[in-house]
Each structure stands twice: as C-alpha cells, then as structure tokens.
Amino acid sequence: MKLQTALFAAVLLSGCSQQPSTAENKGNGSPDGMQTAASETNQVDDGAATAEPQVAPASTTASATGTVKSIDLASGKIVIAHAPVDRLKWPAMTMGFKASPEQLTSVQPGQQVEFEFESRGMDATIARISPLK
C-alpha cells in the first residue's frame, strides 16, 4: 500500500513539473498549453473515439392502481403508493409523478386511484388519473 501511494505521488509530481509549451506546440489537445506525451494524447483520443453517445431511455406508457399519499400543487407533483407495474417490471413502491394542475385537483390524499403514466426510466408523468370506483 505504501508503495502504491509513493508511486501515485511520484506520478502526480512529475505531471506538475512539466514546462509550459512554446507557441508552436500549443493546440495539442491540452487546454493549458502544457506538452502532453503522445501516449497520453492517444489515450484521450481513443477514449473519445470509442465512447458511445448517451441515449435517453425510451418512453413507455403503463397503468397502475394506488393510493394518493400527497399532492404538491406548487411543484406539480403527486406522490402515489402504487401496486407493481408489470409492464415496467417495477415492484410496488411509493413515488412522485409529474401531473397537470387539473390532474392534481381531481384527486385527494388517501384516495384510491387508477392512473396511466408515461415513464422515462424513473421519471414519470401522469397521462390520466381517476378515483377508483
């Protein structure tokens, strides 16, 4: 462990002791103009070239039943303790959903509801909500 710490410190110190580059060497990918070893530049370039772009999760529509726990008109959210959502492979849980002001005022805390929602990962928005009959 001491050897690893000593090696890490040596690498950090050697990186700090590099001399600033001349005007001809600027533009080598280093934002501060410091010279970068070719192997370091290749590692950065290789990482950028092989990185996969981040893709937003696909939207899925699902339905569930549950109990309204709270309503926050100011933030536009409703918290529902819902049953398992088979379509999304979600277990029963309590979570917040985005909702329109009309949807928020159509139900009350403690009320059993059925609802449809659009999900992008754990970000969910109510599409339709109504009290259970």
Helix (H) or strand (E) holding 82, with range, is strand 77-82
Report pLDDT digits (tens) over 40-80. 444 444 444 455 555 556 789 999 999 999 999 999 999 99
Confidence (pLDDT) at 10: 53
What residue type is 130 in one-letter code?
Answer: S
Confidence (pLDDT) at 116: 97
Structural domain spans, the chain:
2-50, 60-131
Identify the band that residue 108 occupies on the pLDDT scale cut at 50, 70 and 90: very high
The pTM (predicted TM-score) of the whole model is 0.58
Task: Work out the widest C-alpha separation in the chain, in whole angstroms.
Answer: 77
What's domain 60-131's architecture?
Answer: Beta Barrel (2.40)
Residue in the structure block whose two tokens are 């001491």: 2
37, pLDDT greater than 50: no
Q: Which residues contact 76 (CB under 8 A, 6 or more apart)?
A: 98, 99, 100, 101, 104
Report pLDDT digits (tens) over 39-48. 444 444 444 4
Report pLDDT digits (tens) over 86-96. 999 999 999 99
Confidence (pLDDT) at 58: 76
